């Protein structure tokens, strides 16, 4: 989770200035600054979210029932064939975790090779204090994002969907799905589980890894480009501030301990859209209207990347 020192100071200033320019919508509980050491050391889970203990899925949606449903289609319905500006482009969306992981502890605790070492197949993810789960959030945003990108002609594949397996897939399989699809861009969607008062989004970039089955060297440059674009458009569209506990205000974090990034052979990033355990962020994450903004912000960064000269 290191970012080169030379990039941190100007990056932090830029992130904060951009945030101020858009009005600081829903501002953080304190000034954006360096990451808290205690939180930084904890943020090392397989999924990309901070280590956390999540409650089992609640029978209700939590602190904010969805006020708009994500676009959906029947499992056997063919993907739309678009003719827009993204025709011929392939995007893989990886909705973090799975609601069924809670009931499959043995399966998701199985160790898999991520190149640098071995880690759990997957984790349960986190939830708001009222029980709205990260797995449910990520799939909702993924559906919204898919609909936006398909309208522009992209071919979109999800690593999991509501009609899929009851748990997983494992992080190595999530990476493999993007690789097999030869995706032009891939993104893993998450929400964090840090302490109250820690809020904001951050985009996780793959660091340079060349060990075992992992070799990210060909994708670190394009992935940073993809992630930087997404960070900028996510901020502009949602008004969510850059994380005040990771990334020193840049909204960007580099990591080498995530199998979903280490094993990718295509440009790929993770996004932590906010902190589910912070009351201000939770109010946004449980809003269907805000989740639509999140999908729009992510899509604009992806489109910018795919249409770059």
Q: Residue 206 is encoded by which pair of tokens?
A: 């793959």
Distance CA 139, CA 135 (A): 6
Contact 125, 219 (CB under 8 A): no
Q: Residue 301 is encoded by which pair of tokens?
A: 């960064």
Residue 168: closest CA among 157, 177, 180: 177
Q: What amino acid positions are annotated as catalytic residues?
A: 272
Residue linked to tokens 């349960």? 124
* Residues paired with 201 in a beta bridge: 242
Residue 170: closest CA among 185, 181, 159, 161: 159
* Residues paired with 255 in a beta bridge: 206
Distance CA 126, CA 274 (A): 12
Alpha-carbon distance values, 185 to 50, 106, 181 (Å): 24, 32, 10
Contact 11, 250 (CB under 8 A): yes
DSSP calls for 221-289: HHHHHHHHHHHHHHHHHH-PPBPSSSGGGSSEEEES--HHHHT-SS-EEEEEEEETTSHHHHHHHT-HH
Contact 61, 135 (CB under 8 A): no
How far is CA 30 from its chain centroid? 23
Contact 119, 214 (CB under 8 A): no
């Amino acid at each position: 989770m290191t970012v080169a020192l030379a990039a941190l100071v100007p990056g932090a200033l830029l992130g904060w200035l951009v945030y101020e320019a858009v009005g600081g919508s829903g501002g953080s509980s304190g000034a954006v600054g360096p990451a808290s050491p205690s939180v930084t050391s904890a943020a090392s889970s397989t999924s990309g979210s901070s280590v956390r203990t999540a409650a089992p899925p609640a029978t209700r949606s939590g602190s904010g029932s969805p006020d708009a449903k994500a676009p959906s289609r029947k499992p056997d319905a063919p993907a739309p064939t678009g003719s827009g500006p993204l025709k011929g482009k392939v995007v893989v969306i990886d909705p973090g975790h799975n609601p069924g992981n809670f009931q499959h502890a043995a399966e998701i605790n199985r160790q898999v090779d991520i190149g640098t070492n071995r880690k759990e197949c997957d984790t349960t993810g986190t939830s708001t204090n009222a029980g709205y789960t990260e797995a449910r959030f990520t799939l909702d945003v993924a559906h919204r994002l898919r609909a936006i990108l398909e309208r522009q002609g992209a071919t979109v594949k999800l690593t999991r969907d509501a009609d899929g397996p009851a748990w997983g897939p494992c992080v190595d399989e999530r990476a493999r799905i993007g690789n097999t699809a030869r995706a032009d861009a891939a993104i893993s969607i998450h929400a964090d589980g840090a302490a109250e008062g820690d809020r904001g989004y951050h985009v996780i970039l793959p660091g340079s890894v060349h060990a075992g089955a992992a070799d990210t060297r060909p994708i670190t440059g394009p992935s940073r480009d993809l992630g930087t674009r997404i960070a900028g458009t996510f901020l502009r569209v949602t008004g969510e501030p850059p994380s005040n506990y990771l990334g020193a205000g840049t909204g960007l974090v580099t990591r080498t301990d995530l199998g979903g990034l280490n094993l990718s052979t295509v440009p790929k990033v993770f996004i932590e859209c906010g902190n589910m355990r912070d009351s201000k962020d939770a109010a946004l994450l449980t809003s269907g209207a805000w989740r639509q903004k999140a999908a729009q912000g992510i899509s604009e960064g992806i489109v910018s990347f795919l249409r770059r000269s």
